[in-house]
Chain A
Amino acid sequence: MNFTFSEDQEIFRDAFKKYLEANVTPEKIRSGWEDNKPFNQARWQELEELGILQSNLDGKYGGLGLDLVTSCLLVEEMGYYALPEPAAEQIFLSNLLINKSTDIAELIKEKNQFIGVTHSLSPNILFLDNSSKLINLGKDSISIAHSKDINGKKLKSSDPSRDLTNFTSENSDSGLLQTLNDQKSLINNVVTSGMVMSAAILVGLSRKILDLATAYTLDRKQFGKPIGSFQAVKHMLAQAAIEIEFSKATLYRAAYSLDNENPLQKLHAAQAKLQSIDACEMASKNSMQAHGAMGYTWEMDLHIFIRRGWSYKQVWGNKSLLENYIMNQLEKDLPKLGSTYTFI
């Protein structure tokens, strides 16, 4: 039992964090919004040069072949800095599909291009115009299409960092390259991966949202002192810190189970996603409150991060779906899910 990160994992994460700190600032995110181009092609290139995009891709496809716990740490930081480009999706969805299916790997040979992935749990196409191909996961079939041939209606997200296109029956056949049948277990695997991915983003976002609030309450003075010195404010943010703390280990265990194909990986992923949703809701609500009216403005950066949480809470497994899944598992397997079975 060693539930700690390796030095290599931490070094890679910290180096990536440095890059994000310098290159994914609220100003840059806002400028992408203003130009209506949240996907910055130059930054995507840099992510490729840094090895981030292909970090978990198998060596035989030109990737670094890193484990998904490392990926999880990277994606958590993408959440923290609200990276608009879909690098998390590339790692946890399309790279996973390529790693696990030679058929898919055969069809997708282009490097450094974004490959979109849709499923009923995340049906709207993300960054269609910036992708080369789209993989749609059905109930048990997987179809791969050329993005440029897909015409769909643009959808406006409450998060301007998300460029969405409607995926309808009319455009579902356009540009179709191939359909693979009998893919149920792979689809299930990608859904689990999507849960872990979105949970990692939410944990990163929560940390950032809390950091913004603590910084603000140190700075902002009322009644002659920083509002952070008032217990009502302290306790609100302390409660958020508690929720965040207790979402982390659940997340890392889920990433580890995913990486090791643990038979309970989906349960672990669902647990992680639910904990991270709670953490992000609490962090968002309480941090906004700590900011007062300033938090409710477009000018303050807080909402860049809060909005992102609204979307990631819902895609790749929302509360209702996850709760139903876990409750069913518990009803089936309760005797094998007690304290002496935490790590089986």
Chain B
Amino acid sequence: MKIGFSDSQKKFREEIREWLEKNVPKIPLNSFDTKEGFEEHREWEKKLNSGNWSMVTWPEQYGGRGLNLIEWLIFEEEYYRAKAPARVNQNGVFLLGPTLMEYGSDKQKEKFLSAMATGEHIWSQGWSEPGAGSDMAAIRTTAFKKGDKYIINGQKTWSSRAAFADWTFGLFRSDPESERHKGLSFILVPLDAEGVTVRPIPQLDGEPGFAEIYFDDVEVDVSNLLGGEGEGWSIAMATAGFERGLMLRSPARFQETASKLLSLYFKNKDNLSGSIESKVLQSWLKAEAYALNIYQTASKLMAGKKIGPESSLGKVFWSELDHQMHQTALDILGVSSELEEVVADDVASWIKGYMFSYSGPIYAGTNEIQKNIIAERLLGMPR
């Protein structure tokens, strides 16, 4: 055990810090869930890419920097420290990207990876359906093969970023006789294809962060099938693993929030009760505990160990923590906490963040599903 950063890691930190200080927009971008903000964020992805910072963990052969997980955590710490824009293409860069590298053909990698890295293709997710939420194997949207096309019919929902995205990836039932996990295929669909209708759904903050996607005899070339036909479930599970895992939930986000919360607390301390103090302290402790756990996990992965259902432990932990931190901030702000446009004390970002924190325990597999996974697969309790 040797805990601490090497000289080259420290140097890397300086390098990214310097680039971000020069390049992060001084005025925050509009939300990427508005048309205007979406395009601003696409530009930011392009800018990141120009400095070769958009997909740092991708191997060099795919244009990335081939960063290891520790370097990735450093990158994220600096990214949150610099208050750099949120990643509009996270579905692409962090979820589909690694999936493509593992399961995609050379042609698919060539077609999609660099367009993803530059922000030319922004991706949305197409997993859930009205009748298939936590029970994802209940998917009914079909993609039947006809010649060299798949004909897609049905409906996806809660598709993050789909309101303005260019592409979606998801699971479709390609075998009409199949049931449950079998007969599903992982297919990439351009959202400008004929027969696709996107109906944006405003989220809690009023902006269309997700959408319903209707497929009405949509024709997609068979070359858009990822992996083999009928192998969609296991590929999707790998992708969902990336989502729950550390790639998307680097601890810096929660540590930054905890530090912000502490500052807010110390500023207002004299008027606050002991229960608020205790929650503020818990927030900092848990954000630290999460960071330490992730660094340990990253070290284990780099030493060649695998993580599986363990990622469910973290998902429940960070999502509950995020909610508690924002709730405590609002309790400190009191009557001004509802004022969505007040910049002082970061009121606007606390209330927005609070709304968003309600989604954490739901998306990427609800915390109830995660607890089932923990109980059954880690603790060995019966199904």
**A→B interface (CB under 8 Å):** 1-6, 9, 69, 210, 214, 217-218, 225-226, 228-229, 231, 233-235, 237-239, 241-242, 245-250, 252-253, 256, 271, 274-275, 323, 326-327, 330-331, 334, 337-340, 342-343
Contacts and interface: CB of A to CB of B under 8 A. Distances in A.
B70 A1 contact: yes
A271 B77 CA distance: 21
B344 interface: no
Contact of A327 (B281, B296, B381): B281
B47 interface: no
Contacts of A249: 289, 292-293, 295-296
B28 interface: no
A280 B376 CA distance: 21
Interface of B: 1-6, 9, 13, 70, 77-78, 80-81, 251-252, 255-256, 259, 262-263, 266, 277-278, 281, 284-286, 288-293, 295-296, 298-300, 303, 310, 313, 316-317, 368, 370-372, 374-376, 378-383
Contacts of A338: 81, 255-256, 259
Contacts of B80: 339
B1 A2 contact: yes
B382 A218 contact: yes
Given A228-B382, A245-B293, 14 more contacts: A2-B299, A3-B1, A4-B303, A235-B368, A237-B375, A246-B289, A246-B317, A247-B289, A248-B293, A249-B293, A271-B288, A330-B281, A340-B81, A343-B295
A6 B2 CA distance: 10
A252 B376 CA distance: 27
A343 B1 CA distance: 13
B251 A1 contact: no
Nearest to A251: B292
B256 to A, nearest CB: 6
Contacts of B290: 246
Contacts of B374: 238, 241-242
Contact of A340 (B78, B281, B285): B78
Given A69-B1, A234-B376, A339-B291, A326 B281 contact: yes
16 contacts: A2-B303, A3-B295, A3-B298, A4-B1, A9-B1, A218-B382, A229-B381, A231-B368, A238-B370, A238-B372, A242-B374, A249-B292, A249-B296, A326-B281, A326-B285, A340-B77
A274 B2 CA distance: 24
A242 B255 contact: no
B1 A234 contact: no
A275 B287 CA distance: 11
Nearest to A6: B1
A325 B1 CA distance: 27
Nearest to B315: A242
Nearest to B71: A1
Nearest to B370: A238
A326 B6 CA distance: 28
Contact of A234 (B2, B281, B310, B381): B381
Nearest to B4: A343
A241 B310 CA distance: 10
Contacts of B317: 242, 245-246
Contacts of B256: 338-339
B4 A1 contact: yes
Contacts of B382: 218, 225-226, 228-229
A249 B299 CA distance: 11
A332 to B, nearest CB: 10
A250 B376 contact: no
A47 B292 CA distance: 32
B290 to A, nearest CB: 7
A1 B295 contact: yes
A330 B313 contact: no
Contacts of A226: 381-382
B17 to A, nearest CB: 9
A334 B316 contact: no
Contact of B380 (A218, A246, A334): A218
Task: Report which residue of A3, A226, A229, A331 has the largest number of chain B beta carbons within 10 angstroms of its beta carbon.
Answer: A3
A3 B285 contact: no
Nearest to A255: B1
A256 B381 contact: no
A235 B378 CA distance: 12
Given A229-B381, A249-B296, A330-B284, A1 B5 contact: yes
